[in-house]
Chains A and B, each alone.
Chain A
Amino acid sequence: MIVTVIDDDRCPVANALIRLEGVGVAPFQGPSGVYTFEKIPRGTYQLKILKSGFKGVKKSIVIDDESLSLSITLRPSAHVLEEVVVRNATINDQKRQEQLNLEIVTDEFIQKHLGGSLMQSLERLPGVKTIGIGSGQSKPLIRGLGFNRVVVIDKGVKHEGQQWGADHGLEIDQFDVEEAEILKGAASFAYGSDAIAGAVNLRPPGLPGPESFGGDVNLIGKTNNGLYGTSVHLYGRTHKWFATGRVSFQDYGDYRVPADSLFVYDFPVQLYQRHLRNTAGRELSLHASSGYITDRLRAVFYVDDVFTQSGFFANAHGLEPRRVDAALHDRSSRDILMPYQQVNHFKIVNRARAVFGNHAVETEAGYQHNRRKEYNHYVNHGYMPPVYPDTLAIPMNLERLFDKTVYSLRIKDLVRIGNHDLQFGINGDLQNNIIGGWSFVVPSFNQRSIGAFIYDKVYVNHRAILHGALRYDHSFVHIKSYKDWFPSPVETGGIAAPDFVLRAARTNRYFNSVTGAVGINYNLKQVELKANIGKSFRVPLAKELAANGVNYHYFSYEKGNANLDPEQSYQVDAGVVWTHDKWHAEVSPFFNYFPNYIYLNPTANHDYLYGAGNQVFEYAQSRVLRYGGELRLKYRITETLGSELLGEYLYAEQLSGSKKGFGLPFSPPPSLLLNLLYEPVHTAPFKRTYISVDLRLTAAQNNIVPPERKTDRYTVMHIQAGTRFRMQNQEAWLSLQLQNVWNTRYMIHTSFYRLIGLPEQGRNLVVSLKLPFNFPNKKKTI
């Protein structure tokens, strides 16, 4: 049997301790990272790999062939230095055993490519894009689908924010993410409603090793928006009990663009010192976890709170050009004036796992509370009174408030029968949504859903794995009625009389969905193949069912449709991975069809009453075809020099309805990323030093749909560099990034501010330093 041990960067790891239970230890090997065991009888063995500086690996392997060859990737021991963490499978094995295309990144990747927010840090991955809102907020887009078509799982529980709005970011602290898994493809069979384009699974941080006590401090600075921040992390564990804590804080000013003046529509805006007025923000996150671990039982509590406050570009709120008090705004680039948003997301999660016999039962229980407030000066539009009435209970500057409470529970049993890995389980959640503020977009609503699934993974032989999954979901949505707080002239029989217009009627809807997937993995020595066909679904949002009001940001009158069906999606995914010598290539094409994609359709009409003279946008369903894929090509030029090419392409077309022949909104144009990486070997006392250059070439996006604008092509360059060195007997990481090296003025098609033509951030130097510390209190044994 041959075991190849490599690290995250696919470099061989020499001198690891490899023990096969009942057989012995493989002799230490040279720099090739290849270890061999001779003449092992067939059977199941425990394989243990230890190497200082990396997390330990323990896994069960089945030897049915003398020439079995295994590749194991060791992960650097991020915060648990030199302590052993047991992981069930390594990243490579996970990718080989997953029928959907999977990208896994670690905190090391995030540190290297640190962006303004988690999703902006992950944007480098092919097929992953973001809807960015200024410099510190973003939401995920997988292959051009976002909002409620991507599920974000945080610590095992579906993250429930206000993901339906383009200006709503994802309330996740990126310093608390140790490992993120991006699943591309029809993932409803695993995650239920909304996982149409895929899922972003933020795994809970690894558990501290037994008898450990330590932590780390992260310091961050950015020149473009004057960001400074820190994240402090502490952990400790006795043999069976552990606790961790983290505090992250960031404060940033208005971000700068390579432009002195802009046009919002035709309205000219002069920028002061190239700052985008009022895009400053701050973020404070608190995390704690504690739990009990034994071989057979594990129970962990996580408590998280993420608070953000950030301004919107003052010269335009949404899409509306505004006159601003420039002197007031330009006094400081760090203050947050109106309009601004304030979001708090609180979460308690309990995860438990018990193993008995060949069963493993897992439960995840969660409570989430998301409270979002948007503040703005009162400006009357349409039939709103010209002066804000002082009799109104709503605070005068509170434009909108959304308050969401979610309780969720998932129970799952994993059982191994012969060569079957069988999973089945149930899940349910309860949601209560309340609105406030003087502007109406979405009514209050309650939602309940329950689901059951079964998933079988069959190890046909050491090469082939078959997957089959089936799932049933039932949801109930109760929409509450809403009436305007101001009268509008309602015409009855030719006579107009003032009346409080009913914006949303009380509605109940029930939805049932059956989804499923069938997939295969076929893994050869140099080639890995995968294919999957699956059906996903999405329960319509309350906004899609019941919106009935003016969105004053977009000069649109949005009309929901209470008769919408649950959105369904059929998708075929494939993946080919080829590794040979210094080459590594991955291609992942997909083909996707929606019989009833839900779409906000801008019509040719204006509505004078409900719409206050604005253009009517109606929710409609149409047939949609999408296809595309990603490409990754890696070539190791020399021992110290590597190159990489990442590409992505997406095509979307509406096949029916009034926008037949058009694409879909927020479709990223094709893009290509060329990378050159230099990793010098002899740099003592510095270790793992790298300099990396990314050149991103993005094509123009001309395949647009109302109310989008065509976006020009652009080329930007980013440089990353970093190293590690000993400090106080601990290994410190220093990472530097120079983003947008040439200070290029460009626009990203999927950015929230694209519609009003705001350029992206100019040149930005990002410096981050991570200082781990630990206090070993016992000698560890192997």
Chain B
Amino acid sequence: MIYKKKLKMLLITASVGVFFAGCSKRDTALADTGYPDIDVTSEQAFPKQCSQFSRGAKAVVKAVVSDNVELGSVSFDIHHNFDHHTHSTEVNDCGLDPKKTPVNPMLLIKSMPIPPGSKTYVAVQEIEIPSAIDPGDYHFLIRVTDKEGWQTLKGLSIKIR
């Protein structure tokens, strides 16, 4: 039957396709494709989502970070969220104060290396909250990289009172 023959041809066509799809597997064992991790809910971690800081006081911030192979570096960033632009990565929101125009908002940018070979690390930084800054909604941004250049971010909403 002609149709049988045609069906066979179609099947051959399809099976070539399956073969082609099958040969697409590649060896990715060589490269590390794992992102580092930031544990913002760990006991040690500070601040946590919705934590409060006081003006004129010192605070010790701690970030608990880990990677499957080797960590790279950590960066902390505190900037205002008076305009509600937000990049909190956490689900619960902490209630925002009304929008306002910044006068003298606090800005802190601090990056630090992690000792080579570390798979887990607790980054500790003592910071001083000046008493003259604007109180209100702020963001606490943690960035961590691993040796390969994968980066993970956590954005926490904090308040400075």
In the complex the two chains form, is B109's CB within 8 Å of A649's CB? no
Residues of A660-704 whose CB lies within 8 A of B: 661-663, 669-670, 672, 674, 697, 699, 702-704
In the complex the two chains form, is A322's CB within 8 Å of B85's CB? yes
Does any Cβ of B come within 8 Å of A607's Cβ?
yes
The tally of CB-CB contacts under 8 A between chains A and B is 148
In the complex the two chains form, is A637's CB within 8 Å of B9's CB? yes
Q: Report the separation of the CA atoms of residues A705 and B149 in the bound assembly, to the nearest whole angstrom.
A: 9
Does any Cβ of B come within 8 Å of A141's Cβ?
no
Q: Report the separation of the CA atoms of residues A323 and B86 in the bound assembly, to the nearest whole angstrom.
A: 6
In the complex the two chains form, is A645's CB within 8 Å of B33's CB? no
Does any Cβ of A come within 8 Å of B84's Cβ?
yes
In the complex the two chains form, is B17's CB within 8 Å of A707's CB? no
Does any Cβ of B come within 8 Å of A449's Cβ?
no
In the complex the two chains form, is A615's CB within 8 Å of B13's CB? no
In the complex the two chains form, is B91's CB within 8 Å of A268's CB? yes
Contacts of B33 on A, CB cut-off 8 Å? 702, 704, 710
Residues of A447-486 whose CB lies within 8 A of B: none
Does any Cβ of A come within 8 Å of B4's Cβ?
no
Residue in A267, A605, A631, A651 whose beta carbon sits within 8 Å of that of B20 in the complex: A631
Residue in B9, B105, B143 whose beta carbon sits within 8 Å of that of A614 in the complex: B143
In the complex the two chains form, is B9's CB within 8 Å of A320's CB? no
Contacts of A725 on B, CB cut-off 8 Å? none
Contacts of A381 on B, CB cut-off 8 Å? 79
In the complex the two chains form, is A706's CB within 8 Å of B150's CB? yes
In the complex the two chains form, is B151's CB within 8 Å of A555's CB? yes
In the complex the two chains form, is A605's CB within 8 Å of B148's CB? no
Residues of A144-202 whose CB lies within 8 A of B: none
Does any Cβ of A come within 8 Å of B55's Cβ?
no
Give the interface residue-count category, chain B.
35 or more
Contacts of A323 on B, CB cut-off 8 Å? 84-86
Residues of A241-287 whose CB lies within 8 A of B: 265-268
Closest Cβ neighbor of B149 among chain A residues: A602
Residue in B85, B101, B149 whose beta carbon sits within 8 Å of that of A706 in the complex: B149
- Of A14-22, A293-301, A382-390, the one touching chain B: A382-390
Closest Cβ neighbor of A638 among chain B residues: B6
Does any Cβ of A come within 8 Å of B58's Cβ?
no
Q: Report the separation of the CA atoms of residues A608 and B108 in the bound assembly, to the nearest whole angstrom.
A: 10
Q: Report the separation of the CA atoms of residues A322 and B139 in the bound assembly, to the nearest whole angstrom.
A: 13
In the complex the two chains form, is A707's CB within 8 Å of B73's CB? no
**How far in angstroms is the closest Cβ of chain B from A520?**
27
Contacts of A601 on B, CB cut-off 8 Å? 149
B19-43 CB mask vs A (1 if < 8 Å, else 0) is 0110110101011010000000000
Closest Cβ neighbor of A585 among chain B residues: B16
In the complex the two chains form, is A635's CB within 8 Å of B13's CB? yes
Contacts of A267 on B, CB cut-off 8 Å? 87-89
Assess A674 versus B14: contact at CB under 8 Å? Given A322-B85, A702-B33: yes
Residue in A379, A383, A643 whose beta carbon sits within 8 Å of that of B10 in the complex: A643
A637-648 CB mask vs B (1 if < 8 Å, else 0) is 110000101010
Residues of B93-135 whose CB lies within 8 A of A: 101-102, 105, 107, 109-111, 113
**How far in angstroms is the closest Cβ of chain B from A637?**
5
Contacts of A595 on B, CB cut-off 8 Å? none
In the complex the two chains form, is A379's CB within 8 Å of B13's CB? no
**How far in angstroms is the closest Cβ of chain A from B29?**
9
Q: Report the separation of the CA atoms of residues A638 and B6 in the bound assembly, to the nearest whole angstrom.
A: 8
In the complex the two chains form, is A321's CB within 8 Å of B74's CB? no
In the complex the two chains form, is A613's CB within 8 Å of B77's CB? yes
Does any Cβ of B come within 8 Å of A745's Cβ?
no
Residue in A265, A638, A672 whose beta carbon sits within 8 Å of that of B153 in the complex: A265
Assess A707 versus B151: contact at CB under 8 Å? Given A606-B145, A612-B109: yes
**How far in angstroms is the closest Cβ of chain B from A581?**
11
Q: Report the separation of the CA atoms of residues A551 and B31 in the bound assembly, to the nearest whole angstrom.
A: 26
Q: Report the separation of the CA atoms of residues A657 and B30 in the bound assembly, to the nearest whole angstrom.
A: 14
In the complex the two chains form, is A669's CB within 8 Å of B72's CB? no
In the complex the two chains form, is A633's CB within 8 Å of B16's CB? yes
Contacts of A703 on B, CB cut-off 8 Å? 26, 28, 31
Give chain A's interface residues, CB within 8 Å of chain B. Answer: 265-268, 320-323, 377, 379-383, 386-387, 555, 601-608, 611-615, 631, 633, 635, 637-638, 643, 645, 647, 649, 651, 658-659, 661-663, 669-670, 672, 674, 697, 699, 702-707, 710
Q: List 28 A-B contacts (CB under 8 A).
A: A266-B89, A267-B87, A267-B89, A322-B86, A379-B85, A381-B79, A555-B151, A555-B153, A603-B72, A603-B145, A606-B75, A608-B75, A608-B111, A611-B111, A612-B109, A613-B111, A614-B143, A615-B149, A631-B20, A637-B9, A647-B20, A661-B30, A670-B20, A670-B23, A702-B33, A703-B31, A707-B149, A707-B151
Known: A603-B145, A608-B109. 15 other contacts (CB 8 A): A265-B153, A321-B87, A377-B85, A555-B143, A555-B151, A604-B145, A613-B75, A613-B109, A633-B13, A638-B6, A647-B21, A662-B148, A702-B33, A706-B150, A707-B150
Give chain B's interface residues, CB within 8 Å of chain A. Answer: 6, 9-10, 13-14, 16-17, 20-21, 23-24, 26, 28, 30-31, 33, 71-77, 79-80, 82-91, 101-102, 105, 107, 109-111, 113, 141, 143, 145-151, 153, 155
Leading 3 A-B pairs by shortest Cβ distance: A604-B72, A670-B24, A602-B149
